[in-house]
Amino acid sequence: MAELKLTNQGAEARVFECDFYGKSAIKKERFSKKYRHPDLDKKLLNSQITMEVRLLNRCLLNKIPVPAVYYVDKRDHVIFMEKIEGVTVKHLLSYKINEMEIPVETLAEQVAIVLAQIHDNNVIHGDLTTSNMIYNKEKNDSNVTLIDFGLGFISDVAEDKAVDLYVFERALSSTTPNCHDFLASFYNTYTKLSNNSKSVLTRLEDVRMRGRKRDMSG
Dihedral sign for Cα 13, 52, 60, 191, please: negative
pLDDT at 98: 60
Provide the residue type at 76 as one letter. D
pLDDT at 191: 98
Of 38, 35, 36, 16, the residue nearest 27 (C-alpha): 16
**pLDDT tens by residue, 159-214:** 999 999 999 999 999 988 789 999 999 999 999 999 999 999 999 999 999 987 77
Burial of residue 61, with CB atoms counted within 10 A of its CB: 0-12 exposed, 13-18 middle, 19 or more buried: exposed
Q: Which of 39, 76, 120, 127 is catalytic?
A: 127
Per-residue pLDDT of the chain (218 residues; tens, 9 = 90+): 556 888 888 888 999 999 999 999 999 999 888 888 889 999 999 999 999 999 999 999 999 999 999 999 999 999 999 999 999 999 999 876 566 778 899 999 999 999 999 999 999 999 999 999 999 988 766 799 999 999 999 999 999 999 999 999 999 999 887 899 999 999 999 999 999 999 999 999 999 999 877 766 65
Q: How many CB atoms lie within 10 A of CB 216?
A: 7
Of 180, 6, 136, 147, the residue nearest 81 (C-alpha): 147
Contact 111, 120 (CB under 8 A): no
pLDDT at 139: 72
In three-state secondary structure terms, 25 is strand
Residue 22 CB partners (closer than 8 Å, separation 6+)? none
pLDDT at 140: 61
Taken in order of first residue, the domains within the chain and their CATH numbers are: 5-82 (3.30.200.20), 87-216 (1.10.510.10)
Q: Where are the alpha helices (DSSP H) in 35-135?
A: 38-61, 89-93, 104-120
- The H or E element containing residue 140 is none
Q: For this structure, is 127 an active site residue?
A: yes
Output the pTM of the full model.
0.92
End-to-end CA distance of the chain: 49
Contact 97, 179 (CB under 8 A): no
Q: Report the distance separating Cα 52 and Cα 75, nearest Å.
A: 16
pLDDT at 141: 67
Residues 17-35, buried b or exposed e (16+ Cβ, 10 A)? bbebeeeebbbbbbeeeee
Q: Percentages helix, strand, coil for the chain, rounded to the nearest 5?
A: 50, 20, 30
pLDDT at 142: 77
